[in-house]
Amino acid sequence: MVPPLMIAMEDSILSTQTARMSRTTQCIRLLLIEDNPDDAAFIEEVLKLQDTYATVDVAVVGKLRDGLSCLARRNFDVVLLDLSLPDASSTNSVTRVLAQSPQAPIIVLTGLDDRDTALDALKKGAQDYIIKDSISGDLLIRAIRYAVERRRAESRARVKAAVEREDLIFTLANDLRVPHIGAMRAFDLLVAEALGPLNQEQKNLLGKVKQSSHEVLHMLSNLVHLYRIEQSGQKILALPTDLNRLIEQIIEDWSYAASENGIKVEVHSDLAEPVLLDGKAFKKAMSNLIHNAIKFSFPNGIVSVTSRCEGNWLYLSVKDNGKGMSSHDQEKLFQRFWNDNDTMRHSNGSGVGLYVCRQIVEAHGGDITCISEEGKGTTVTVKMLKAGCTSS
């Protein structure tokens, strides 16, 4: 029978070996920015002798500009940065490295008389500092390991905070929708004079308040829809849908916004039969497009909504003759939370609407594109296969 103490010792040895094997399966990509060849060679030799990681892939450069170039081309797990480089001033180099690669932790290398500079580097974002004359294998590897793990912990904390923030936004948006829906119903009763006659001035005022409430409800609905997409993807329940009627409803929803600025909304459609799609989701997508076209058109402009079939394809386009946008902005148009801070073009104020549009259209197997010219207007087009058809 094996004594219990021996079993415990064997378990301890096995645990240590397992932990070591776990550690040594990791590979670290390290960028060393050091202009002294002797110091660089010594650090490389120390890293070759370590047994904490399976490999340490070291890239060595002697100038900050070369280091920034490396960071622009590759991702590194950690940066060893000399504070006495010929083309940089002490802690300014930390700021420049972080600007180029915010995710890579920085360990600064400094001389005996540079402690104050090293501490200043920590304040500017470096993870740790090492005095060159005291570098040893254990010290260097420990600093690298701690810097990498700290940055990973920070990243996990940021992700957790982002999730919690989105949960809070969803909860607030969802809760705020309920009273706005109630307010919209009350406005409908008042405008319809169900509770008594109104003069024209009262009707105009109620129309403005109703439209403002509708704008807020529209934005809240987009935020709630975005959260649900992020959590479980865009789900589609396709049913035969009268697309012409759906577009008429959307135009009616935004009629006050259009009339207030003298904007005429024209509809052109050759659709004679219902289309198989998720009417509720697709109405949200088209509502975003038509709302944007109205919102960013010039006063007394024209918004054209066109629906047509060509072969097996269904095309829907929304065109305005408003301010348009640059080709650079068009590339970012359907990104999540993007908006143009100067013109707020196609943003709905939140940068959510067109991202939601893209998700809905792509969930239907379609594609959404934009053609725009500054000062001349924008056309957004949705292209989808008709149900039961192939692209051939």
Segment 355-377, tens digit of pLDDT: 888 988 998 889 999 999 988 89
Instruction: Give, in order, the Cα–Cα distances in Å from 176 to each of 169, 180, 241, 351.
Output: 10, 7, 29, 19
Burial class of 254 by CB neighbour count within 10 A (0 to 12, 13 to 18, 19+): buried
Nearest of 370, 333, 331 to residue 353 by alpha carbon: 333
Residue 293 binned pLDDT confidence (cut-offs 50, 70, 90): very high
Identify which has the larger pLDDT, 318 or 275: 318
pLDDT in tens, 299-343: 999 999 999 988 888 999 999 999 888 888 888 888 776 565 444
Least confident of 21-25, 29-33, 192-196, 312-316: 21-25
Are the CB atoms for 383 and 358 separated by under 8 Å? Answer: no
Nearest Cα neighbor of 151 from 172, 119, 174, 128 is: 128
> Rounded distance, CA 194 to CA 156, Å?
56
- In the predicted model, is pLDDT for residue 174 greater than 80? no
Per-residue pLDDT at 13: 40
CA atoms of 179 and 175, how far apart (whole Å): 8
Would residue 372 be called left, alpha or beta, if left means φ above 0 and alpha means ψ between -120 and 50 degrees? beta
Rounded to the nearest angstrom, the gap between the alpha carbon of residue 186 and the centroid of all alpha carbons in its chain is: 37
Q: pLDDT-based confidence at 112, cuts 50/70/90?
A: low
- Could you tell me the pLDDT band of residue 45, with boundaries at 50, 70 and 90? confident
Please tell me the predicted confidence (pLDDT) of residue 24.
47
337, 350 in Cβ contact below 8 A?
yes
Q: Where are the alpha helices (DSSP H) in the chain?
A: 4-24, 37-49, 64-73, 92-100, 115-123, 137-191, 200-232, 243-253, 255-260, 279-295, 327-332, 353-363
Q: Order of strands, edge to edge, in the sheet holding 27-33?
A: 55-61, 27-33, 78-82, 106-110, 128-131
> Is the CB of residue 330 less than 8 Å from the CB of residue 381?
no
Mean pLDDT of the chain: 81
Please state the rounded mean pLDDT for residues 4-32: 52
- Assign 310 to helix, strand or coil: strand
Is the pLDDT confidence value at 190 over 80? yes
Q: Tell me the mean pLDDT in the region 58-65.
A: 93
Contact by Cβ (8 Å): 353, 224: no
Q: Average of pLDDT values for 281-290?
A: 91
Q: What is the mean pLDDT of residues 190-217?
A: 81
Please tell me the predicted confidence (pLDDT) of residue 251: 94
The string of DSSP codes covering 246-302 is HHHHHHHHTHHHHHHTT-EEEEEE---S-EEE-HHHHHHHHHHHHHHHHHTSPTT-E
Q: How far apart are CA 79 and CA 307, in angstroms?
A: 55
Confidence of residue 63 (pLDDT cuts 50, 70, 90): very high
Q: According to the model, what pLDDT value does residue 340 have?
A: 56
User: Does residue 391 carry a pLDDT above 60?
Assistant: no
Lowest mean pLDDT among 97-111, 122-136, 183-197, 282-296: 183-197
Q: Report the C-alpha gap between 235 and 250 in whole angstroms.
A: 22
Q: Between 174 and 196, name the one with better pLDDT.
A: 196
Q: Which residue has the higher pLDDT, 211 or 294?
A: 294
If one compares 213 and 52, the residue with the highest pLDDT of the two is 213
Rounded to whole angstroms, the Cα distance separating 126 from 146 reads 12
CA distance 305 to 120: 59
Confirm whether pTM is higher than 0.85: no
The predicted model gives 65-93 an average pLDDT of 89
pLDDT at 344 > cutoff 50 = no
pLDDT band at 32 (very low <50, low <70, confident <90, very high): very high
CB of 320 closer than 8 Å to CB of 296: yes
265 with 303: CB under 8 angstroms? yes
More confident residue, 222 or 279: 279
